[in-house]
A and B are shown apart, each in its own frame.
Chain A
Amino acid sequence: MAIKIRTDKLKFYRRKIFDLWNTYKKNKLGIFGLFIVGFFVAIAIFGPYVAPYDPYAMGIPRQKPSPEHWLGTNDVGQDILSEVIYGTRTSLTVGLIAAVLTVLVGTVIGLVAGYFGGGVDDLLMRFTDMVLSLPDLALMIVLIAYGGRSIWNIILVIAIVSWTSTARMVRSQVLSLKERSFVEAARAIGSGDTHIILRHILPNVMSIVLPLTIMSVVWGILTEAGLAFLGLGDLTIKSWGTILYYAAYRGGFILKAWWWIIPPGLCITFTALGFTLIGYALDEVLNPKLRR
């Protein structure tokens, strides 16, 4: 009996995902975004097999683009193309982990504040407002100046400054959800708070949480690049931001080395654009009321 219910449920979800995909498919920009992101994810995964050189191996510095080095070499003779390819993995990983962490914290706080209301809500929301009104970048610089610039610290710092908008949006959604009749019905048959939150509220909040996660990836990738560019990144690991940091301060400009400056930035821009398009498309599919 129990197994039968399981398979029914599985069928239900499979069907739901299939329906969503059918709607998503019609969104041309969304598909374009998927292609862009898919391309970079493939590079991130297969990077070491694609890259022509070891990006940490040094050779003749400051070479112009040539058949051997398509994008030339940097100030210590590392192959820039290989650097960019290896950097994909760092940028995507940081963006994704930071986004998941951001949304996780924001969702938990939003759920708790919205569901329990009263003093808990007041306390959590005042706290959120305060974090929200602290200046992002200055706070991040202070935190990194004192906490160090390992990749994990950077992910943590990004999450610390960016969970607030998720918390606010989830909370406002929960406020309206908890008054609906299905929640009342669940309570009437004696369901506990945890059960109601996890089984009835959370699934309904997912439609705003998923697009938010995708948008947080964009923010995470751009922030990581920005911090790395200021020299606040983990400079021992290749990332698009660190390549640009070295390009700016180790002669990229004087050499007029477009091959050193343009490619990493284009990668950042297109990855961010790809995720943004997916985010918009997902939002349209999951929240059809917003469709114009």
Chain B
Amino acid sequence: MATFEEIERRRKRAKSSYRDAKKHFVRVEGWLPVFRAYARQKALAVHYLTLCAKDAIDVRYFRIKGVLEYDAKQKAYPTVSFIEREAQDYAVIAESLGTAKLGINGDLEAILIRPDENASNSAKLRKSFPYDIVNLDFTGEVVREGDPPYSQTIRAIEKIIELQHGANCPSWHMFLTFRACPETANHEADQELRFIIENNLQNAQAREAYGNRPAPHDLIGARYEEFLRIGIVKFLASSASNRGYTCSLENSYVYSREPRDGGPPYHIVKLIVRFGVVRPAGHLPNPHHVMAIYQESVPAIFQSQPIDVVARLQANDTRQRILEDLKPVLDELTAQSIVE
């Protein structure tokens, strides 16, 4: 269990990253259009599950942009559910947002993977499905050092897909954020991903789509973030096909970070993935069909290219525009009287 000192260090590190232009670029260019589409379609009642962290910038931002249902009088977000592991941060979110559809002070992975130990939170979370958008903004790796390759995070993601399917959700989006840092990566998991990619490359169509990227083994060393990006999307596609969905990568973003406290530099990878139902809940999966869906999705994944956030921010006045767009949210955070 993390000591208080460690938790505090992590909280301080996280705080600065929530408010920077790189992260907000993805909110503006990637997340907001998805929200807009759902808001139009569902008259603002966009059911949104988020790991929003204490500033809840995403929730505030979408409210300000008018794409999220909000009752200003009751200070209520009737379609927003949030989960926060740290008690202090949970309190900040709960106190500053007012009333939400669901607020859980707990660890998402533990709640989904070990429901017996988290009975009350698990029951609440399961009951709250389905969601239109699930925003899994993980601050760390998808497979942490020391975890087995089939990590808790991976299993939690699969569980979410399963719960969405079980709740008869026909179409939904997942925003997935994770860290790619070769120094703190789980090499066993990397090797497993590498074998799967190499296996995919046996297929001519997939090989052609893979293009001139270095071979998977070299890609780990040369562009680890790219290796993880395609590896994780492929995992999502495989997992989705087994659980009755097709999975298509709509956009992906990559940017670098250099920790101020002297830790190794790393990349943040952000995926916007759409899931569409192919098999209704309660029906048996057809293994041939499942395999076909997965194999069809592989070339598209290999063809995809990430958006280089840092390069895009350097163009013209993009950085300025992005920061100005973020300003109302930061002003609101400054004005609120909640102790952080």
B partners with A: no
> Which A residues have a C-beta under 8 Å from some C-beta of B?
none
> Which B residues have a C-beta under 8 Å from some C-beta of A?
none
